[in-house]
């Protein structure tokens, strides 16, 4: 079994960055850049080879928005799109029946608890 991404942890990482750059209130109120951030959060649901092109389209739309969008998109580009650790196909959850690893984490925690 190869390395696969987790949609939950992807969204958690991106939303953490949304908060860090000061866009959390705007996002939660469904104002301004909300739709653009939602589309950014949906990238892992695309087939891996389609992700860079979709990201570039979103980046073009973000250019005309707030200055706070720049560090958010730089983060996604540096950490995920241009990553040398994993390819888009590895963190894409397209056509995966299990899209998170939360069940695995839960079993690990239970096993660790039982063992102690």
User: What CA–CA distance (Å, rounded) separates 89 from 17?
Assistant: 22
Inform me whether the pLDDT recorded for 112 exceeds 80.
no
Position 63 scores a pLDDT of 84
Structure tokens at 70: 């720049």
Phi, psi of 100 (to 5 degrees): -135, 170
Give this prediction's pTM.
0.77
What are 57-97's pLDDT values in tens digits?
Answer: 999 988 877 788 999 999 999 999 998 888 888 888 888 77
Q: Above 70 in pLDDT, residue 113?
A: no
């Amino acid at each position: 079994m190869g390395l696969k991404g987790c949609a939950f942890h992807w969204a958690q990482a991106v939303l953490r960055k949304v908060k860090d750059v000061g866009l959390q209130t705007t996002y939660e109120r469904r104002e301004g850049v909300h739709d653009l951030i939602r589309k950014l959060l949906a990238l892992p649901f695309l087939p891996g080879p389609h992700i860079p092109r979709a990201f570039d389209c979103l980046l073009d739309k973000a250019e005309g928005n707030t200055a706070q969008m720049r560090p958010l998109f730089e983060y996604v580009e540096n950490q995920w799109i241009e990553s040398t650790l994993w390819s888009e196909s590895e963190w894409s959850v397209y056509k995966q029946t299990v899209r998170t690893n939360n069940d695995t984490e839960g079993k690990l925690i239970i096993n660790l608890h039982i063992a102690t």
